Structure 1
């Protein structure tokens, strides 16, 4: 079970950039970070409208003087305080991630950033180097990677339960943007605007989630990929609202990735199926407490979260917040990640490299690969869907 007695001497003093009033993502970050008492929200630059942001901050219980008009003002003022912030979460449009993350690292803050981390791998590598120089950590919010059954899948692959991995099919294909809803929805408009979203829409927005689960569960490296993408809502061009990616992995395995916002009638359809020489597993985020396990020649099995027959480890399988049979979900997954971020940030503050090395989390390397996926998919799709090397 999750250890609610695992506290820090003092909670991490924490702030947010973006994620203000009405933001579902902002609420998700706060709900997750504050759940276990490992973070304390003490400051914020929540909104481009300073008055609205200040009113929101006060309603959250933050001192008015620590509600800032801009992130630059916040980083500068908090650095002068003995009780200044130690970490910041960035929940803003994609185009701002690099600039804000860089400024946070320069202010010697740990960072939790929404994905994609940056527009280019060159920028992501800059952040990685800066984080190392400042002895700070970057966590990337791949929020579905905190589910215990995803970690069970990873352990099954690691322990050879599936045999040699041959095929991976990953997808995140919802239907909520099957029409041009952005005409009347500013919160969607930026996602389909290149200047704010970057070179991709669904690949960066949801495809990176599915891709990270593939990386995390299989621990295989992509060798090359081939992508085709479409803008079924023509006004979204050149950004895609549907994409199919074929993957070749080092060692001979192959895979596919489907990212879509126009899968009409679908809620999420975020699934990953890993096929080995002996057996297969499949996880679906709409049924996150179950993992389907299929051994050739035997009846399929449904493995349930929280049960004694699962692998017991300290990396995620055993990180249950309630006993088996009760439904855990999205917020629990996010909270599991924020608990890891807190312990990692604390270990870095104490320069405890042994403790830090023992903590799994989606870090800057995960952010780099998500950015690389976007870059390479665009390169392939915009050149007639030709195969391209994943790493040059």
Structure 2
């Protein structure tokens, strides 16, 4: 159980790019990173408006001289300080991720980046090569991947409790954009603008989340080919989709499906993953994250609760409070940031053994997310043809 004990001798000197005063995701980053004292927020370029960003940075307790107008100034001037930053989190629109991540890696910094990592597989591979050559950690914020019951599902599948895996049904299908809300909401406008959002909307924005949960639960399941159909039910969003169905065939014959949507009217969040084996199935839903449903054919369904002693050991390591009390988004993100910190520290010390023992959404996860979106768009643009993965 995590109890607040120090994990590192000294906190990592950390900065943020984006995530300003009105950014919901910025607050989640800061809450997760600062919770266990593994990071110290010492610098930032929080807003496209420098004065507004500086004012908010001061409210966060950052030295005004270290509240920068832009990320280039942040990286250049911090590099000149003996106490300069060691890591940066990027919480900006999609179209900026590649340039900022590349600049951060070239400055010798570890990076935590919002997904998607970038727009193209070529860009993603460039970042991977750069990160590995510099020995830097790149983490992606697939937030719920840090929840304990995802670890429980992984352990159960590895122990053959489901039998042979036949199907994986995934979805992230909310309803908050079932009307053209972007006409009144600037925070949504960039998500449906190809110049800032990239080649897709919901495939990259929400679909890659359950896809990564599947990678965690089923690390040996590899996509062989896929087909995708995408729709723009709000016509003004075309060519970007607000709904998509992706069918995947895995090596070995298992099948998978991802429903990515922002127009599932009435749905609050709708992120679910169901893994179906030859003798049993399990299902997890992020709106009820403390329960994992386990259904053995011919037996009553079971509900496994977070924090209970009957779970696998790996599912108990990241508990922050005993069973019965709910844990959710903030705890899952905090667990990820804790792993990011441990990985950054191990990389700085050259401890390859400690680094290899850590599991978190890394640069490889970022590359695979970009690959999946690129292949989905390729399929959809060919009238939903099957394409090799």
Does TM, normalized by the shorter one, top 0.5?
yes
- TM-aligned CA deviation for residue 318 of structure 1: 2.6
Q: Deviations over 1:109-129 (max 9, x none)?
A: 000000000101111111111
1:180 matched residue in structure 2: 180
Which SS does the other structure have where 2:267 is aligned? coil
Cα RMSD (Å): 0.7
Distance across 2 between alignment mates of 1:145 and 1:7: 20
Distance across 1 between alignment mates of 2:101 and 2:307: 36
How many residue pairs match? The answer is 388
1:241 matched residue in structure 2: 242
Q: Deviations over 1:100-143 (max 9, x none)?
A: 00000000000000000010111111111101111111001100
Q: 1:151 to 1:72 in 2, by over 3 A?
A: same
Superposition map of 1:83-98 within 5 A: 83-98=83-98
Distance across 1 between alignment mates of 2:316 and 2:144: 14
Q: Deviations over 1:56-97 (max 9, x none)?
A: 000000000000001000000000000000000000011110
1:214 aligns with 2:214: yes
1:360 aligns with 2:359: yes
- TM-aligned CA deviation for residue 210 of structure 1: 1.2
Does the 8 Å contact 1:306/1:318 carry over to 2? no
- TM-aligned CA deviation for residue 2 of structure 1: 1.5
2:24 matched residue in structure 1: 24
1:35 matched residue in structure 2: 35
2:258 matched residue in structure 1: 257
Distance across 2 between alignment mates of 1:212 and 1:359: 16
Which SS does the other structure have where 1:100 is aligned? helix
Distance across 2 between alignment mates of 1:21 and 1:356: 34
TM-score (norm 1): 0.98
What are structure 2's unaligned runs of at least 5 residues? none
1:47 matched residue in structure 2: 47
1:145 aligns with 2:154: no
1:160 aligns with 2:160: yes
Does the 8 Å contact 1:224/1:387 carry over to 2? yes
Distance across 1 between alignment mates of 2:226 and 2:6: 42
2:345 matched residue in structure 1: 346
- TM-aligned CA deviation for residue 144 of structure 1: 1.0
Q: Deviations over 1:327-383 (max 9, x none)?
A: 001000000000000011011111111111111111001001110111001000011
Distance across 2 between alignment mates of 1:368 and 1:337: 18
Q: Deviations over 1:173-223 (max 9, x none)?
A: 000000000001000000000000000000000001011111111121111
What are structure 1's unaligned runs of at least 5 residues? none
2:386 matched residue in structure 1: 387
Does the 8 Å contact 2:223/2:249 carry over to 1? yes
TM-score (norm 2): 0.99
Does the 8 Å contact 2:6/2:37 carry over to 1? no
